[in-house]
Amino acid sequence: MSVNSCCAVAYQVYASAAKLVPSQSAQRAKERIAELEKLPGITTAAVECRNLQRCHEMFQIAETVSETDPKQASQRYQWIIEHSPKDSLVFKEALARLEPDQR
């Protein structure tokens, strides 16, 4: 069974729930994390998923400030280029928005 992005997102949700005050949902989350951790590559996929989510958040912020603070937007686009997967749409869009001399 290969790891898909759904499992990676589920892993993150269960990890957050497991940190809650001991409750039935926290206990179930801990059990589910233990099950998910048996999948090869799940922790790596969860880290990659979290990173890609952060890149999307940075892109949204860059888009929001691009008119009022182009320098900040450029810094965020550059961060995305340095941290996102090279084959991702967010990488390609960030690269396209940078001035040619900033690449």
Considering the chain, what is the average pLDDT of its residues?
85
Estimate to the nearest angstrom the gap between the alpha carbon of 28 and the chain centroid. 24
Percent of all residues in the chain with a pLDDT value above 70, rounded to a whole number: 87
% residues pLDDT > 90 (the chain): 46
Rounded-to-integer distance, Cα 16 and Cα 101, Å: 41
Query: Taking the mean position of all CA atoms in its chain, how far away is CA 85?
Result: 11
Task: State the pLDDT at residue 17.
Answer: 78
What is the rounded distance in angstroms from the CA atom of residue 72 to the CA atom of residue 53? 19
C-alpha–C-alpha distance, residues 6 and 3, integer Å = 8
Query: pLDDT (tens digit, 9 = 90+) per residue, 19-69?
Result: 776 678 778 888 888 898 888 888 888 889 899 999 999 999 999 999 999
Domain layout of the chain by residue ranges: 5-102
What is the rounded CA–CA span in Å between residue 54 and residue 77?
12
**Is 1's pLDDT higher than 60?**
no
